[in-house]
Structure 1
Amino acid sequence: MKKQNVLNLIKYHVERNEKSFRNEAISIARYFDSIGDRQLSEYIMRLIAESNVYSLQTTDFESDFLKQVEIRNLESLHLPHEITEDMRGIVNAVNYNVGINKFLFEGLPGSGKTEAAKNVARLMNRFLFRVDFENLIDSKLGQTNKNIIKVFKEINTLSNANKVVILFDEIDAIALDRINSNDIREMGRVTSTILRELDRLTDLNKEIVIIATTNLYSNLDKALVRRFDAVINFNRYSDEDLIEVAEYYFSLFIKNFKGITKDIKLFKKILKLAKKLPYPGELKNIIKISLAFSDAGYEYDYLKRLYNNLIGNLDQKDINKLYKEGFTVREIEKLKN
């Protein structure tokens, strides 16, 4: 980091140039990340995000198809380093204002796509609107097409376009492959309309950021995929990443349960024995349920439930099998009560 970076921060603060101040701070964070100080880099990025609990709190905009999403007080997002870098890249690309503004997040359910979209909107100091597919999709032939045209018209006429992110959460609900669809004609019309409207949006309004998510990337129409400037793959969690996520949720949730003793070493040992760890959304739920369903009369019952959920039925395993799995005598006592 150079002295000029510090001078720029002071200058932009005095000038109340929020956009330049934020960009300079992001540049500093990236510098620290490049020299290996990831902790300080993430701390700066978190401060930037928290400072954006800002003036963007609500808007008077009303629509049947666009619903504002709350992005204040978001839960910490634990993404693999590679995906975190891609999120920073999106913020940088939009700030450069070179027409890169459409992004597709693809990955398994529970991999953090929707929450990542919320955090990106917060980092960019923008309102977030979600397209409401329940209202958009209509059983009447042709009405869905009309609704799609209407929602894009509303998007194009947003007066504060440079302060908006539009989220098409699970876009596969309306835009599957036209060739492989069972209902080729209707699906083809709907998908073709989306393609046309996305092109018009690019021509008319380069300020609005579009983020779409999908669990069914391979089933999306290839022409639709090409409309996005970048596709971000969220299926990049290593076991170490997932254990780190699990440890975070475990430490967060256990505070709410009295009479339960925290044993992080045994908790992590159970996680490491699992043949395949679920992604964060499901993992979070398993940990919470294991704690909530545990017997208040036994302080380690949640570990038995965690074992059952991730590995198998603990009651069917004798002490010798558990010993071969690497558990100590004391750990077996805790699991077997």
Structure 2
Amino acid sequence: MKKQNVLNLIKYHVERNENGFRNEAIGIARYFDSIGDDQLAEYIMGLIAESNLYAPQGSDYESDFLKTIDTRGADPLYLPTEISEDVKGIINAVNHNVGINKFLFEGLPGSGKTEAAKQVARLLDRTLFCIDFENLIDSKLGQTNKNIATVFNEINSLPYSNKVVVLFDEIDVIALDRISSNDVREMGRATSTILRELDRLTDLNKEIVIIATTNLFSNFDKALVRRFDAVINFDRYKKEDLIEVAEFYFASFVKNFKSVSKDTRLFKKILNVCPKLPYPGELKNVIKTSLAFSDVNSEFDYLRRLYNNLIGNIDGTDIETLYAQGFTVREIEKLKGKSKSSVSRKLNKEGVQDE
């Protein structure tokens, strides 16, 4: 411990900087622990805990590389049964406390990987820290490797490790295949450093939960995959799963728009007609923007926009095609903005019997 540590404590106290004061106090406790004075280290950490300077859940502890994510207000997550069972399996594995603590979530963008990590932290009642890759990756040769080593040192030094989940979101930015990477040397060294640090983490700390996500599993370094205790595939959505997710989002959003007329039946029919629904992340945005951009003077304009976003140009789609897709005369009237009589006349003219 140096004089500067004492000066920093006084400075942070005067400035009422609780975050800085807490981090400095934790650093002092770590120092005493490193020189074998574990009793004093535990005493300091006990004072910190009693004074709420370090609260495991909802902690605002942060560094250049570790950022806290508040999971207490996380929205419910709708996942296919198979994925939900895997998430429950993670909770069970961690609670068994047998050293199963590193998990890789792989799947397309918007499939729910990051949100699932938040739910895991919430269900385990743990603080979620996310790695800030913007600060971690450095253009200076070799500095990224040093930063990786530093962040793992911070992870290993976190107090209350049994109350922490660390998320490496889109870890593929530093962990692509060392053979196929265009920047073989630098990225290869970065991946090798991660391999070494994960092995070291396994030896030093079996209580911290590590979750990594990747959108590029096919390009992921195979040696790194083996460092994870389980790989969860998030590309297991059936169409009915996505329709259920969409209905949940629609019900959540539509109540905020007083000028629209809620038509769940037609909303769901558009989803069924869509040849390929996007994953939840994109689907959520499509539904939200269809409602937000809708004409306040047209109660069904959001449905027209939904059709445009998911299927094609509604103005360029003729009435016969819409009827063939399974839409009724009344539904076509809403989608096309035409009167029921004009829709019926068009269908009768083409020899189609309307309802």
Q: TM-score scaled to structure 1, two decimals?
A: 0.83
Can you give the 5+ residue segments of structure 1 that lack an aligned partner in the other structure?
1-54
- Aligned pair count? 283
Equivalence map 1:29-40=2 (5 Å): none
- CA distance change for structure 1 residues 152 and 325 in 2, over 3 Å: closer, same or farther? same
The structural deviation recorded for 1:60 is 5.7
Where relative contact order (Cα < 8 A, 6+ residues apart) is larger, the structure is 1
Amino acid at match of 2:197: E
C-alpha distance in 1 between matches for 2:210 and 2:194: 13
C-alpha distance in 2 between matches for 1:289 and 1:159: 43
The structural deviation recorded for 1:101 is 0.3
Amino acid at match of 2:95: N
The structural deviation recorded for 1:57 is 3.9
The structural deviation recorded for 1:63 is 1.3
Rg (Cα) greater in structure: 2
Answering whether residue 226 of structure 2 is matched by residue 226 of structure 1, we say: yes
Equivalence map 1:155-234=2 (5 Å): 155-234=155-234
- CA distance change for structure 1 residues 304 and 60 in 2, over 3 Å: closer, same or farther? closer
SS at the partner of 2:255? helix
| Coordinate RMSD, CA, aligned | 1.0
C-alpha distance in 1 between matches for 2:103 and 2:182: 27
Aligned to 2:71: 71
Aligned to 1:312: 312
Can you give the 5+ residue segments of structure 2 that lack an aligned partner in the other structure?
1-54, 338-355
Aligned to 2:235: 235
Aligned to 2:256: 256
Answering whether residue 116 of structure 2 is matched by residue 109 of structure 1, we say: no
Aligned to 2:138: 138
The structural deviation recorded for 1:325 is 1.0
The structural deviation recorded for 1:61 is 3.1
Aligned to 1:333: 333
Aligned to 2:31: none
Q: Retained in 1: the 8 A contact 2:130–2:167?
A: yes
Amino acid at match of 1:276: K
C-alpha distance in 2 between matches for 1:269 and 1:163: 45
Q: TM-score scaled to structure 2, two decimals?
A: 0.79
C-alpha distance in 2 between matches for 1:59 and 1:330: 54
Aligned to 2:244: 244
Which aligned runs of 4 or more in structure 1 are off by greater than 6 angstroms? none
Amino acid at match of 2:176: L
Amino acid at match of 2:62: E
C-alpha distance in 1 between matches for 2:333 and 2:60: 59
Q: Retained in 1: the 8 A contact 2:104–2:212?
A: yes
Amino acid at match of 2:260: I
